[in-house]
A and B are shown apart, each in its own frame.
Chain A
Amino acid sequence: DIQMTQSPSTLSASVGDRVSITCRASQSISSWLAWYQQKPGEAPELLIYKASSLESGVPSRFSGSGSGTEFTLTISSLQPDDFATYYCQQYNSYPYTFGQGTKLETK
């Protein structure tokens, strides 16, 4: 199975900050990576697919980059609604696997 490792596990930031979350795969997954946002008590929502493609309706302050084994989710200017938990997920091969999550909290 492909292991996905996110860092950091927790990120403290303020509104207006630029933040980045890293996701590393245990083997190459090309660009077959998705990013999700999840708020407490809610289902995850897709932000990014194919490593850097922005899902329709997602604000342009979210962006994704990377290929192979290292990927980054960047939020260019944090908004109050962005404080949530973020997950990466590889869909290169089965079983699909998720990172452990990064909780973005208010500093």
Chain B
Amino acid sequence: EVQLVESGGVLIKPGGSLRLSCAASGFTFSNAWMSWVRQAPGKGLEWVGRIKSETDGGTTDYAAPVNGRFTVSRDDSKNTLYLQMNSLKTEDTAVYYCTTGQRTMVRGILGLKHYYYYMDVWGKGTTVTVSS
């Protein structure tokens, strides 16, 4: 069974740093692209960032509100995804979900590969509260 279990959520003061973890099992983690999605209290879903597999370059992309403050990383030897959160703000208060998904490769006109990746498995989430 594919499973994602997040941990590390706490109450923390503005300006602080925090690292979330996501333990993965039931699939080949090293081949997977992984994402973080968050949901502020009573609000909708917001994509935070994604990391590709190492074989696909291990590169990351981020949403603008967290770019430069948050870092997504992975340890394939531990089947674990991380979200390092620095310079936390009150608006970062949310449930943070770890997700994995499937990707479709399409070749463009010049033969370049483009991947379209959707999120099909979600963890139960971990709560981060940023408050003084």
Q: Which residues of chain A have a CB within 8 Å of any CB of chain B?
A: 1, 32, 34, 36, 38, 42-46, 49-50, 55, 87, 89, 91-92, 94-101
The 17 listed contacts between A and B (C-beta, < 8 Å) are A1-B64, A32-B118, A43-B122, A43-B123, A49-B102, A49-B120, A50-B118, A55-B120, A89-B45, A89-B47, A89-B118, A89-B119, A91-B116, A95-B62, A98-B46, A101-B44, A101-B45
For residue B24, give the distance in angstroms from its CB to the closest CB of chain A.
15
Per DSSP, chain A at the interface is loop
A98 with B45: CB separation less than 8 A? yes
Q: How far is the CA of A69 from the CA of B35 in the complex (A)?
A: 24
B118 with A91: CB separation less than 8 A? yes
Question: Within 8 Å CB of B97, what residues of A?
Answer: 43-44
B61 interfacial by beta-carbon distance below 8 Å: yes
Q: How far is the CA of A1 from the CA of B117 in the complex (A)?
A: 17
Q: How far is the CA of A94 from the CA of B63 in the complex (A)?
A: 8
Contact of A97 with B47 at beta-carbon distance under 8 Å, contacts A1-B64, A43-B97, A43-B124 already known: yes
Question: Within 8 Å CB of B118, what residues of A?
Answer: 32, 34, 46, 49-50, 89, 91
A95 with B102: CB separation less than 8 A? no
For residue B98, give the distance in angstroms from its CB to the closest CB of chain A.
10
Q: What is the chain A residue whose CB lies nearest that of B121?
A: A46
Residue among B45, B102, B116 having the largest count of chain A Cβ atoms under 10 Å: B45
B45 with A44: CB separation less than 8 A? yes
Task: Beyond the given A34-B119, A95-B64, please list 18 additional residue pairs across the A-B interface where CB-CB is below 8 A.
Answer: A32-B118, A36-B45, A43-B97, A43-B123, A44-B97, A44-B122, A45-B122, A46-B119, A49-B120, A50-B118, A89-B45, A89-B118, A91-B117, A94-B61, A98-B45, A98-B46, A99-B44, A101-B44
Q: How far is the CA of A74 from the CA of B62 in the complex (A)?
A: 31
Question: Within 8 Å CB of B119, what residues of A?
Answer: 34, 46, 89
A87 with B120: CB separation less than 8 A? no
For residue A95, give the distance in angstroms from its CB to the closest CB of chain B.
5
For residue A67, give the distance in angstroms from its CB to the closest CB of chain B.
14
